[in-house]
Structure 1
Amino acid sequence: MPLSPAALADRLAELIAAVPAEPGAAALRVAVDGPELPGAPGATGPLTVAQALTERLPALSRPAVVVPAEGFYRPASLRLEHGRTDPDARYSDWLDAGALAREVLDRCGPRGTGEYLPALWDLDRDRAARLPHRPAPAGGVLLVPGSLLQGLGLAFDVVVHLRVSPAARRRRVPEDRTWELPAFDRYDDEVDPTALADAVVLADHADRPALVLQNRWS
């Protein structure tokens, strides 16, 4: 049944708030995985959903922070080595998954230091962000919104996948980003992110998402 974006965020916040972090972990590590596409007001993109959750989780006794995966993209010299419109590079070369694990997910896990790095790389200036590590919210939730996050061995405790069908991606993607589409097609074929996720948001229509629960919540 379709929901409003606000009702979707309410339901996801309730589900996530009920999941405890692993014993000894500083925070529950949650991926919000999916393509960032333009849409109607309240659109269900990863960053939008993650920000909505941070507004709701504290009221459920779970403080939350957002650490966008884009802050762990590689420098332009590496990311764009094969050009600015290479879908294979978009699929495999943009995200420094090792740095995201080392500086965020592992540090907030059971044997970590209990702190995280907000960002490693400043994309706008294409230089190191030079930010200090911050303490994870005690008993809280660390949300990592981004694209193509599954299938990399990253230590997420919960995964929310925003499922946008190939047809809807082609309909909604801006013309200057159509070159990215083969990367998302490949992701669907090789990783099958819908099958791996704990919650799937059917987001073909940005203002009328639907929620499907599986794995942890099925």
Structure 2
Amino acid sequence: MADRIAERPREAWVRVLVDGAPAARPGELADALVDPLRVRGREVVRVSAAGYLRPASLRFEFGRTDPDAFYSDWLDAGGLMREVLGPLEPGGTGKVLPALWDSAADRATRLPYVTLGPGGVLLLDGPLLLGRGLPYELVVHLWLSPAALGRRTPEEERWTLPAYARYEREVDPVRAADVVVRAEDPRHPAIVTEV
């Protein structure tokens, strides 16, 4: 995976989305790519969609366990576009805000911007990232069967399962992604689709 990303032209930024339910551990894959990319001479910035959740007043408008709100209203896609993905468009500034909102404290993070040099790689992880019009150069989707997703999702988060079923139906991330990794066994992920 690191070779494929590092082979991209060095004069342009590379925005990589690592998409998957928390049970598939997309953050772990994104973290695991950082050092191999740096060894290959690529500067890397890590961003998690968890740092771009909307304020609690908006996320929980329909209750704390509404799967439809989780699917469509929790992620601040506009903030991600403005503060992370947009600045890495051709002609952009390269200035990225690693996190905008601390959802636990329900307030702005006030983190400083970081500048990603030309040819640098953004690794953005999170669930339900596709189908929102977010720009990218490469998408890796970590796929779990519905049974594995159900087994590996903690009891207190099982209310999100209908949102993931909807995502499969409406977005079909397996077809939309450039690389699909079967993540049934976190110790032995397997690439099943590579475009």
With normalisation by structure 2, the TM-score equals 0.96
Match of 1:152 in 2: 132
Question: Would you say 1:132 and 2:118 are equivalent positions?
Answer: no
Distance 1:167 1:31 in 2: 24
The alpha-carbon deviation at position 123 of structure 1 amounts to: 1.4
The alpha-carbon deviation at position 124 of structure 1 amounts to: 1.8
My pick for the range that moved more, 122-131 or 92-101, is: 122-131
Question: Would you say 1:64 and 2:44 are equivalent positions?
Answer: yes
Question: Does the 8 Å CA contact 1:65/1:137 hold for their aligned counterparts?
Answer: no
The alpha-carbon deviation at position 137 of structure 1 amounts to: 3.6
Match of 2:18 in 1: 32
Question: Does the 8 Å CA contact 2:43/2:116 hold for their aligned counterparts?
Answer: no
Runs (5+) with no aligned partner, structure 2: none
Partner SS state of residue 181, structure 2: strand
Question: Does the 8 Å CA contact 2:45/2:123 hold for their aligned counterparts?
Answer: yes
The alpha-carbon deviation at position 132 of structure 1 amounts to: 2.3
Distance 1:114 1:67 in 2: 14
Partner SS state of residue 88, structure 2: coil
Partner SS state of residue 200, structure 1: strand
Question: Does the 8 Å CA contact 1:64/1:137 hold for their aligned counterparts?
Answer: no
The alpha-carbon deviation at position 111 of structure 1 amounts to: 2.5
Render the CA deviation track for 1:60-102: whole Å, top value 9, x for unaligned. 1112111111111100110111111100011000001011011
Distance 1:212 1:59 in 2: 26
Question: Would you say 1:77 and 2:57 are equivalent positions?
Answer: yes
The alpha-carbon deviation at position 16 of structure 1 amounts to: 1.1
The alpha-carbon deviation at position 178 of structure 1 amounts to: 0.6
Match of 1:20 in 2: 9
Distance 1:135 1:154 in 2: 20
Partner SS state of residue 140, structure 2: strand
> Which aligned pairs between 1:162-177 and structure 2 lie closer than 5 A?
162-177=142-157
Match of 1:3 in 2: none
Question: Does the 8 Å CA contact 1:162/1:200 hold for their aligned counterparts?
Answer: yes
Distance 1:111 1:184 in 2: 35
Question: Does the 8 Å CA contact 1:161/1:193 hold for their aligned counterparts?
Answer: yes
> Which aligned pairs between 1:91-106 and structure 2 lie closer than 5 A?
91-106=71-86
Partner SS state of residue 53, structure 1: helix
The alpha-carbon deviation at position 130 of structure 1 amounts to: 1.5
Deviating 4+ runs (over 4 angstroms): none
Distance 1:46 1:99 in 2: 20
Match of 2:184 in 1: 204
Question: Could you tell me which amino acid in structure 2 is paired with residue 101 of structure 1?
Answer: M
Render the CA deviation track for 1:147-180: whole Å, top value 9, x for unaligned. 0000111011100000011111111111111100
Count of residue pairs brought into register by the alignment: 195
Match of 2:88 in 1: 108
The alpha-carbon deviation at position 213 of structure 1 amounts to: 3.6
